[in-house]
Amino acid sequence: MKPILSFPLFALLLMGATQASAVDYLLPPPGSRLIGQNQTWLVPANSQSLEKIAERYQTGVLLLLEANNTVDPYLPMPGSELTIPSQMLLPDTPREGIVVNLAELRLYYYPPGENRVEVYPIGIGLTGRETPVMTTRIIQKIPNPTWTPTAAMRARSQAQGITLPAVIPAGPNNPLGRFALRLQQGGGEYLIHGTNARSSIGLRASSGCIRMRAADIKALFTQVAWGTRVQIINEPVKYSTEPDGRRYVEVHQPLSRSDADNPQTMPVAINAAFGQFIDDAGTDAVAVDNALTRRAGYPVQVDAHSTTPAPVTTIQSVKAAVMPSGGETLSEAAEPTAGRVTIQ
């Protein structure tokens, strides 16, 4: 049985857990899709890049940029307050196996027979080399994979003055990392794998495969079985009417189709079901329109007559926090013994 941590303790653990391998959420009750709770983090005097902050809090760079659209993407200003988007709506899919939502650059894993979901940030295909939408299965688990660049990859690299070797052996410099999961669709062309480019997580950076941080792919690899169902969707808008009547919309920037596209202003498709949700008397249509414009990447409450903002938990920076008894730093005191934490 995994320990269930209260949210304040979860926040403390995250501050020290720079190498956590997953964030677990208890599954919500029937009829609910809302999980987690947003947090805020005060940028310390020795400011870190968003990439480092994203890794610390097990999220992605683009997710942080969506939630904090006025922040310097390279070096946030000391003293500024960042929203950590750790609240989300589960995708409207079967809660089985692996679910990837390309638009939010997240992978969800539902361990069989357990009342929890693991959430991981991922990297996906570049514009023009998109990761395809599909429902497929894992057909091979590959520890210590070698990497054989395709002819197209070698040609693209050669055009940039880079000559790729015919094969890159297994090891720390391998672009596939230490573990890979082969998907059935596409003749096995697509993989979920590690990477030697840590900064690419939470971005569009691959040739179509799905990238994960080293600790994340190791954790996923050790759990999933051959034949595990994998569903890849591209849904920039998620919405839910919760059992208590609250209504939420979570809007992400849609994936650009060309370099000329601006994901912040690209039109967002509204299907019939979402249109009915907007038109329902219980929904504040103006709030939905604001959410579609803002595209914050976390759930926004949009039920009519609601004045309750989404709760957040304020997190002090590790450097600014009070020293625990014994003289160790907070990051040392809060270092978890396992690579996974669970929140309610």
Phi, psi of 183 (to 5 degrees): -95, 150
How many independent structural domains does the chain possess? Answer: 2
Instruction: Identify the domain boundary among 234, 264, 290.
Output: 234
pLDDT of 159 reads 81
Domain boundary, last residue among 234, 257, 285: 234
Residue 33: pLDDT over 90? yes
Contact criterion met (CB below 8 Å) for 175 and 168:
yes
* DSSP string of 40-88, one letter each residue: EEE--SS---HHHHHHHTT--HHHHHHHTTTS-SSSPPTT-EEEE--EE
Q: Does residue 152 fall inside a structural domain? A: yes
pLDDT of residue 324: 30
Q: Report the predicted TM-score, pTM, of the whole model to 2 decimal places.
A: 0.82
Write out the H or E segment, with its range, that includes residue 232. strand 229-233
**Whether residues 260 and 139 fall in one domain:** no
Residue 217 shares a structural domain with residue 241: no
Outline where the chain has alpha helix (H): 7-16, 50-56, 61-67, 151-159, 214-223, 272-279, 285-294, 330-333
CATH assignment of the domain containing 226: 2.40.440.10
Q: At what angle do helices 272-279 and 285-294 cross, to 10 degrees?
A: 130
Looking at per-residue pLDDT, the higher value among 224 and 46 belongs to 224
Examine residue 197 and state whether it is found in any structural domain, yes or no: yes
% pLDDT > 70, the chain: 82
- Within a domain: residue 74? no
pLDDT of the residue at 174: 85
Q: Residue 81 is encoded by which pair of tokens?
A: 């307050």
Is the domain of 255 the same as that of 199?
Answer: no
Question: Does pLDDT of 199 surpass 90?
Answer: no
Query: Residue 173's pLDDT is what?
Result: 79
CB 232 within 8 A of CB 134: yes
The verdict on 281 and 169 lying in the same domain is no
Asked whether residue 302 falls in the same domain as residue 216, the answer is no
99 and 223 both lie in a single domain: yes
Domain end, chosen from 234, 255, 286, is at: 234
Residue 191 contacts by C-beta under 8 Å, 6 or more apart in sequence? 142, 176, 180, 181, 182, 183, 209, 210
**Phi, psi for residue 16 in degrees, rounded to 5:** -100, -10
Q: Where is pLDDT greater, at 324 or 99? A: 99
pLDDT at 47 over 80: no
Residue 278 inside a domain? The answer is yes
Q: Does 249 lie in the same domain as 202?
A: no
200 and 295 fall within a common domain: no
pLDDT at 309: 54
The pLDDT value recorded for residue 312 is 52
Encode 255-267: b = buried (16+ Cβ within 10 Å), e = exposed.
beeeeeeebeeee
252 plus 217 within the same structural domain: no
What's CA 220's distance to the chain center, in Å?
14
Model pLDDT for residues 291-330, shown as the tens digit of each residue: 999 999 999 999 997 655 555 544 433 222 222 333 222 2
262-279 mean pLDDT: 95
Residue that is written with structure tokens 């009342």 in the block: 115
Per the listing, tokens 């994901």 go with 263
Taking alpha carbons only, the member of 157, 216, 164, 160 closest to residue 192 is: 216
In Å, how far are 251, 301, 302, 331 from 305, measured between CA atoms? 21, 10, 9, 42
Q: In the prediction, which pLDDT does 326 show? A: 33
Does 106 share its domain with 222? yes
pLDDT digits (tens, 9 = 90+) for 126-172: 888 899 999 999 999 999 998 777 777 777 777 888 777 777 778 77
Domain limits for position 179 = 95-234
Q: Are residues 150 and 259 in the same domain?
A: no
> For residue 11, is pLDDT > 70?
no
| Domain assignment of residue 118, yes or no | yes
**In a shared domain, residues 107 and 119:** yes
- What is the amino acid identity at position 326? G
Look at residue 204 and tell me if it is in a domain: yes
Torsion sign, CA atoms 33, 337, 18, 331? positive
- Does some domain include residue 336? no
Residue 207 lies in a domain: yes
The pLDDT, as a whole number, for residue 66 is 95
Kindly report each contact of residues 304-307 with a partner whose C-beta sits within 8 Å and lies 24 or more positions away, as own/partner.
306/246, 306/247
Q: Nearest 5°: CA angle at 15, between 14 and 21?
A: 35
List, by residue number, the catalytic residues.
Answer: 193, 209
pLDDT band at 275 (very low <50, low <70, confident <90, very high): very high
